[in-house]
Each structure stands twice: as structure tokens, then as C-alpha cells.
Amino acid sequence: MHEFDDAVLQCFLDNQGQLFPEDVAATLEEAEAFLEESLAVVVNSIDEIWEFFEEEGLDVDGAQGEEILEADEVFDVGDGRYLIVEG
């Protein structure tokens, strides 16, 4: 199980609309429960995002380098970490 700190949870709350048509969480607690259920991961670099997408067999539509950050599943926490949520 992953530990999601407040920065990660707040990032998801603030930006969940990029992945979901309606909010799936309204509080930090709901965000944490949702992220745990959806097996979300926190990574520390763009390289780790690429590794995750490759391991999961996710289609990146020919994206290269930092273009991966434009994927709806990738949330920039703002401190060098990224949250990946599979929709």
C-alpha cells in the first residue's frame, strides 16, 4: 500500500478534473481512499513515469520526453514528484 501525503492528496483534489468528468473525492480522506483503491503510484522523475507506463502496457500515443506529463493520468505534485492515476 502506498502512503499518500497531504501534498499528493491536495494535488489530486485540485486537478482530478483532468482525468474524471466529475469529482471523485471532496476531502483529503476521500482522495486517499480513492487513490488506494485505484492503485495510484507516486514517482520521483519523468523516467519513472515512462517506466510505469511501459510496465503497465499503457499507450502513450508516440509521446516522447516531457510530453508524458501531458497524459491525463499524470499529476504534477509540484515538488518534483508525480502522481499516476489510472482512470
CA 86 vs. chain centroid, Å, equals 7
Can you give the pLDDT at residue 2? 60
| 37-68: pLDDT as tens digits | 999 999 999 999 999 999 999 888 788 999 99
- Average pLDDT value for the chain: 93
Per the DSSP assignment, residues forming a β-bridge with 83 are 42, 75
pTM confidence score: 0.91
C-alpha cell, 7: 501534498
Measure the CA dihedral 47/14/28/39, to 10°. -40
C-alpha cell, 81: 514528484
Mean pLDDT of 68-82: 96
* Domain ranges within the chain, ordered by starting residue: 6-84
Sign, CA torsion 25/30/32/36 = negative
